[in-house]
Structure 1
Amino acid sequence: MPLPKINPTKTDSWEKLKLHFEQLKDVKMQDLFSSETLRNENFRINWEDFDVDFSKNRITSETLNLLYNLAKECELTSAINAQFAGEHINETEDRAVHHTALRDFENLKPEVATTLKQMKRFSSEVISGEWKGYTGKAISTIVNIGIGGSDLGPAMATEALKFYQNHLEVIYISNVDGDHVMETLKPLDIETTLFIIVSKTFTTQETLSNATTIRKIFLKDASETDIAQHFVAVSTNLDAVKAFGISAENTFTLWDWVGGRFSLWSAVGLSTCCAVGYDNFKELLEGANEMDVHFKETPFTKNIPVTLALISIWYNNFFNSETEAVLPYSQYLSKYIDYLQQAVMESNGKSVDRNGDFIEYQTGTIVWGSTGTNVQHAFMQLIHQGTKLIPCDFICYTESLHKLKDHQQKLLANCYAQTEALMQGTYGEIVKNNFKNFDGNKPSNLMEIKKLTPKSLGKLIALYEHKLFVQGIIWNIFSYDQWGVELGKKLAVKRLQ
């Protein structure tokens, strides 16, 4: 079943949203809060350990109803069903988009079960010290060699779950910059280092260049037969992997229905699995699956990814806000923005619709941000008093992992204060100095999560995966190809010839 191919701007809901926008564009959120005593309760979704407050947005109940109707007119439900059924919704490449199947333990594909079993065995051997290097020493360092989805996803997850990490040091090399490669390798003991080469085709220029250079350095002291003890691969190209010197039993497979930027749930996440252990990695997958079920089965009005996606479309296509900031108040999520940028901007950066026609409305949003109170001493000034309207997602955990209550109270107080200041500003106050005037009326969502665990992290990552999917469906674009990226690769190869 192909995806619907509906131009959103030709729907009745879009026309009604345009009229509604003209009525609402100058309305102040401060006034909405004054007139709606239950606004905080009516504009929020509580689900498991997530509390999502979207009351501080320039929306009313009518706005939401029109947006939900837009989703219905664009046949979002049928699109969701097509994705979860494994239909070839990536039509330009004739591929399924089925990364949700990687974490569906109730209906686990046999090939996924086999790979997970292989990952469990391998990670257990490395963590326990049973896996030895060529000189008989146990592995203490893992280096993941990949780029794009083969780097950003596992690097983000490993950093986010640092509290749960074992004794293994895990390092990521992605950039083809040779200086970076050499500086990264400089402090490492090759005898106790394991390299994971992640490349679906085993032809990615940056990854293979880095892997080949590292192989040469390794062979200065070791032999060809020692490669099998220090190099493993995540790839579908078994011949190329074998030629590199990696044994078949140390090769972890991928499938064409798993897109790179949604692949951390697969063997691409092997480095994360080794860093935190298989049980924690499985919890990460289980959390993502719980969000999958919520997304697939929950009515739009109580559906977190659907609601956040529609609010984002409201700002992007009616207020002409080109960017949105994601602001996690947890340093553990320091790599989350990098991950989101690829997921969102590589997916929805399209100017041709699913009918093959050039688009005359705005599509993909620009995602940016940083962590915690750092943002308050950096770019928040522009969001507060600048001329651009920048919707914000604030993400925080109500419970700290290291139980430093004083720090956590201060962290949360700053998070809550920022959302309040953006909304309220100095509205209603007499401010004689224009330089100290804050208009407020700046939108934000507040996502409170009880605690950062592998399971809650899985839910959070999957939430934004589904959010960008909804946006792509409404905008009538194919979110799962990336022909612009491919063009750059081809031109780089031509320059090297």
Structure 2
Amino acid sequence: MQTQDWLNTLAPEAARLIDTPLPRLLAADPERAQRDALRCGPLFASFARQRLDGAAWDTLFRLAGARGLLGQLRRQLDGEPVNTSESRPALHTALRSALGKGTNAEAAHAEARKTLGRSIAMADALAGQGITDILNIGIGGSDLGPRLVYDALGAQRRMNVHFLSSPDGHTLQDLLPRLDPARTAVLLVSKSFGTEETLLNGEVVREWLGGRGSLVAATANVDKARAFGVDADNILPLWDWVGGRYSLWSAVGFALVAALGGDRFAELLAGAAEMDAHVASAAERDNLALRHALVAIWNRNALGYASQAVLPYDQRLRLLPNYLQQLVMESLGKSVLADGSASVACSTVPVLWGGSGTDCQHSFFQALHQGTDTVPAEFVGVARPDHGYEAMHRMLMANLLAQSEALANGVDHVDPHRQYRGSRPSTVILLDALTPRSLGALIALHEHSVFLQSAMWGINAFDQWGVELGKQTARTLAPAVANPEARVSDPVSAALIQEFHRVARG
């Protein structure tokens, strides 16, 4: 089925529902609260407040079958070259799951297990040497995933992890005086070992170490890492079949192994593997990742919503919107088909953003409730906290549930300033508790949803050529930033660089 065909199929369903108030849909179908909810291991998700009814769900599942979404997912899990522009598989699932027996995934999983064993042994050795701090130097997928997990789970840790991504000297200026080089291990994370930001930060920190502490690398380019000064025994492998934003589960997560311990990192992998097994075997209507993806397709292509909010109601998950921005927008920010044959015939990725509640209720929730644009929301909550302040947790959960209800139902008021139109759709995801297992499952859910959305649109979720142009342009401008006499062809850049030099010279 071609894109225009399934868009045409969705159009009458959207026309029927776009102006139907959500409270009316809820009242007309009292079973939807149970029917439109699914549990997978430690995760429970409710889609009951999405602007969908049974007939629309039927259409979506029929289109998912016609587009072969779960079959395409199987191809990815088995290690077929789904990254078409680079002729590579995307086997991040093999880092945590023994799926795909007899396929490329089987060998990849064995390699990943061997590397995990090395990572655990290296981390334990560092702990035995009295290392108290890990400095993780990486950017993008080499930073956001480990940073999210450490922020969420790092309350119980045997080492402190510090993250250095941007080449902004203010971070180093603040951080290095607080660290002891003799008790610090530095992890350089770069698949190519050519990432300019990472190497620039690494050069400064290598000098700061002065031969003390430990230097570790996670990379696919062993020769470059050795030339930089990393001992061969301290180099952990990365592979071209894992993209950066999907690499948390690999040696990219070494700082997490060191800080949280091998057992807890293994639980993170197990939670993701549990989600992998679910999406690989569950029927369409019982498949949590497929439901999640179809809601995203519906909101973007049927209802035309151009934005998506992610709202974790747990401060430990405050970095989840940042992490998902890269996972979703770098994966789905494409406008050509995967084979490069034509432009995509529909809108693709929405703008994803968010913040943690209840803080964000006092900033942008005004726009969510009464703004002119409808922004679908995904609320993420934790049922059992890891503290004993029960009244505080009850208040937090009451706010999460209230915001989802208020966005959907609204309030009819005679004063137009106090009128809430409602009918603002949302999904609620509840974790039983915030554990390595539940966090692994949550991240893996979004990974699978992203791939299924890309399969529906016919785009490649595993390349990121759009990231490269700005980097290339920066290289051409770097000489002029260093020397005001250097020539710049773009007149606006030339004027800005001249102003920079005027101010910098004082």
- Partners of 2:289 and 2:137 in 1: CA distance: 32
Is structure 2 residue 305 aligned with structure 1 residue 321?
Answer: yes
Q: Give the letter for the 1:364 counterpart.
A: V
- Partners of 1:365 and 1:342 in 2: CA distance: 12
Match of 1:172 in 2: 163
- Partners of 2:317 and 2:126 in 1: CA distance: 26
Match of 2:117 in 1: 117
Residue 187 of structure 1, aligned match among 166, 178, 195: 178
Q: Secondary structure at the match of 1:163?
A: coil
Within 5 A, what are the aligned runs for 1:184-333?
184-219=175-210, 222=211, 226=212, 229-333=213-317
CA deviations 1:345-366 (Å, max 9, x no partner) are 0010001112420123100121
Deviation of 1:432 (Å): 2.0
Deviation of 1:105 (Å): 4.9
Match of 2:455 in 1: 473
Residue 427 of structure 2, aligned match among 442, 445, 452: 445
- Partners of 2:230 and 2:324 in 1: CA distance: 32
- Partners of 2:345 and 2:79 in 1: CA distance: 30
Residue 97 of structure 1, aligned match among 76, 90, 94: 90
Q: Which runs of 4+ in 1 moved over 6 A?
A: none
Is structure 2 residue 396 aligned with structure 1 residue 414?
Answer: no
Is structure 2 residue 131 aligned with structure 1 residue 139?
Answer: yes
Is the Cα contact below 8 Å between 2:3 and 2:346 reproduced in 1?
A: no
CA deviations 1:299-329 (Å, max 9, x no partner) are 1111111111111111111221111111111
Deviation of 1:412 (Å): 0.4
CA deviations 1:381-429 (Å, max 9, x no partner) are 10001111100011101100113211110110110000110111114xx
Residue 434 of structure 1, aligned match among 416, 433, 451: 416
Q: Give the letter for the 1:150 counterpart.
A: S
- Partners of 1:403 and 1:126 in 2: CA distance: 34
Is the Cα contact below 8 Å between 2:408 and 2:423 reproduced in 1?
A: yes
Q: Give the letter for the 2:435 counterpart.
A: T
- Partners of 2:89 and 2:295 in 1: CA distance: 27
How many residue pairs align between the two structures? 471
Deviation of 1:52 (Å): 1.0
Is structure 2 residue 360 aligned with structure 1 residue 375?
Answer: yes
- Partners of 2:345 and 2:70 in 1: CA distance: 25
Q: Give the letter for the 1:115 counterpart.
A: T
- Partners of 2:418 and 2:463 in 1: CA distance: 47
Is the Cα contact below 8 Å between 1:44 and 1:52 reproduced in 2?
A: yes
Match of 1:459 in 2: 441
Normalised by the length of structure 1, the TM-score is 0.92
- Partners of 2:272 and 2:233 in 1: CA distance: 28
Q: Percent identity?
A: 37
Unaligned runs of 5+ in 1: 1-5, 132-137
Is the Cα contact below 8 Å between 2:84 and 2:339 reproduced in 1?
A: no
Q: Secondary structure at the match of 2:155?
A: helix
Q: Kindly report the root-mean-square deviation, in angstroms, between the aligned alpha carbons of the 2 structures.
A: 1.4
- Partners of 2:323 and 2:28 in 1: CA distance: 39
Match of 1:151 in 2: 143
Q: Give the letter for the 2:68 counterpart.
A: E
Match of 2:102 in 1: none
